């Protein structure tokens, strides 16, 4: 069956004065998917979301929702709705009145409005709060009201701009579970913005990683974590040791690199074509750094000095220094050693990613 695309961006540019906020991006979002735009402040993710929602307009390029070009005169007929971090509820309206607002703007019959409001309020567990005002509710309850108000209009696409950012950690985790469950139940396409990579990994069917107004990688959480295509993605998604080196030779999908730790092999990122003696970067996740007896089958091994230790519950984070570089390893349970000890460490070539050089990650510290 052919895939249905709910959102499509074609060579979209957006500038604010001399600042390029969105730099010619192409993006497709399939119907029913939970897609997250991820990146730090200033990367262009919120501007992109606001353009999809019609709150900003591109300087060039096309934006289509449900196959139709967005235009400024759609108003309440737009096929998108947006949920903001600050909820944007009307303080003088009850929960029921807030949720009904969009339906009233669409001039639906009163009986239909009442039925749809009751249904969405029940779905979001707000029936006991239907007569309350926003000031009488917790942050998590207010966020659910904002979601209900957006969903009751049955949009083609729901846009969420860091909607959990104002909540405390416990409530944020709870609402992440609620959001994921809700999206599965209603089946509506969600486009979500966050700078929190753990939140993106938990919620998303697909993550769109943005950097300086551009999309640098898109894929499932597992693919982006396991196969980062740039040092920026490796560093931003999860944690990674980033090591500088000089490219030697290539054999198939693997390359040999000379580093301060020695010569090692790693898998070359898709699309990267390094040349001999070219500066490159290597990425290895802390959980893939093997220590001591776990080194059996490793393709690279060396000996370093333990420079810091932290017990994190399920794992110990071990800092290892060698030849001016520092990297971190996560080993299961409690590490049986102390700062100042020497320790053998290494990894398998399949777990080492060979990436293009990026000056932002070339300090040689390799910190996770």
Among 232, 243, 245, 234, residue whose Cα is nearest residue 276: 245
Give residue 166's pLDDT band: very low, low, confident or very high (50, 70, 90): confident
How much is the mean pLDDT over the chain?
A: 92
Give the range with max mean pLDDT: 68-77, 138-147, 191-200: 191-200
Euclidean distance between CA atoms 355 and 241, whole angstroms? 12
Degrees, nearest 5: CA angle 193-56-102: 75
What own/partner pairs with CB < 8 Å and gap ≥ 24 does 15-19 have? 15/59
Euclidean distance between CA atoms 179 and 36, whole angstroms? 13
pLDDT at 72: 55
The residues, ordered by sequence, that sit 6+ positions from 340 with a Cβ below 8 Å of its Cβ are 305, 306
Euclidean distance between CA atoms 49 and 191, whole angstroms? 8
DSSP run (H or E) holding 1: none
Euclidean distance between CA atoms 275 and 269, whole angstroms? 14
Does residue 172 carry a pLDDT above 90?
A: no
Residue 246 near residue 278 (C-beta atoms within 8 A)? yes
Domains in the chain, start-ordered, CATH in brackets? 5-226 (3.40.50.300), 244-361 (2.40.50.140)
Give residue 288's pLDDT band: very low, low, confident or very high (50, 70, 90): very high
Question: Residues in the chain, how many?
Answer: 368
The pLDDT of 249-273, averaged and rounded, is 95
**What sign for the dihedral angle of Cα 48, 51, 52, 53?**
positive
Does residue 331 carry a pLDDT above 80?
A: yes
> Which of 190-194, 201-205, 313-317, 347-351 is the least confident region?
313-317
pLDDT at 77: 66
The pLDDT of 97-118, averaged and rounded, is 92
DSSP run (H or E) holding 24: strand 19-30
Among 238, 190, 173, 243, residue whose Cα is nearest residue 83: 190
Euclidean distance between CA atoms 244 and 225, whole angstroms? 20
pLDDT at 116: 94
**Burial of 94 from C-beta contacts in 10 A (0-12 / 13-18 / 19+):** middle
Among 349, 51, 31, 339, residue whose Cα is nearest residue 187: 31
Model pLDDT for residues 292-315, shown as the tens digit of each residue: 988 988 999 999 999 999 998 889
pLDDT at 8: 96
pLDDT at 78: 78
What tokens does 243 get?
Answer: 């090591």
Model pLDDT for residues 26-80, shown as the tens digit of each residue: 999 999 999 999 999 999 999 999 999 988 999 999 999 988 887 655 556 678 9
Model pLDDT for residues 221-252, shown as the tens digit of each residue: 999 999 999 999 999 998 999 999 999 999 99
């Amino acid at each position: 069956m052919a895939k249905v695309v709910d959102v499509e961006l074609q060579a979209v540019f957006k500038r604010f004065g001399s600042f390029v906020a969105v730099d010619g991006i192409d993006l497709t979002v399939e119907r029913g998917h939970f897609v997250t735009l991820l990146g730090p402040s200033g990367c262009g993710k919120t501007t992109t979301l606001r353009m999809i929602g019609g709150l900003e307009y591109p300087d060039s390029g096309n934006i289509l929702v449900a196959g139709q070009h967005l235009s400024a005169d759609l108003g309440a007929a737009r096929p998108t709705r947006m949920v903001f971090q600050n909820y944007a509820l009307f303080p003088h309206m009850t929960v029921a009145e807030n949720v009904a607002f969009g339906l009233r703007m669409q001039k639906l019959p009163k009986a239909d409005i009442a039925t749809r409001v009751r249904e969405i309020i029940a779905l979001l567990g707000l029936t006991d709060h239907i007569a309350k005002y926003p000031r009488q509710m917790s942050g998590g309850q207010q966020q659910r009201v904002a979601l209900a108000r957006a969903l009751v209009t049955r949009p083609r696409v729901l846009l969420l701009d860091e909607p959990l950012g104002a909540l405390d950690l416990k409530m944020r985790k709870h609402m992440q579970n609620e959001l994921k469950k809700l999206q599965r139940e209603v089946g509506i396409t969600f486009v979500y913005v966050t700078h929190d990579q753990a939140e993106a990994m938990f919620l998303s069917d697909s993550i769109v990683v943005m950097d300086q107004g551009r999309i640098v990688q898109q894929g499932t959480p597992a693919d982006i974590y396991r196969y980062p295509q740039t040092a920026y993605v490796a560093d931003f998604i999860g944690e990674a040791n980033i090591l500088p080196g000089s490219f030697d030779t290539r054999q198939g999908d693997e390359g040999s690199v000379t580093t301060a730790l020695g010569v090692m092999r790693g898998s070359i990122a898709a699309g990267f074509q390094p040349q001999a003696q070219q500066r490159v970067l290597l990425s290895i996740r802390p959980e893939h750094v093997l220590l001591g007896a776990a080194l059996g089958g490793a393709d690279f091994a060396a000996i370093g000095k333990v420079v810091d230790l932290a017990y994190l519950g399920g794992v110990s984070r071990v800092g290892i220094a060698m030849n001016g570089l520092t990297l971190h390893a996560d080993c299961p349970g409690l590490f049986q050693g102390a700062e100042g000890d020497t320790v053998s460490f290494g990894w398998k070539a399949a777990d080492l990613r060979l990436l293009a050089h990026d000056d932002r990650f070339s300090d040689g510290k390799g910190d996770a």
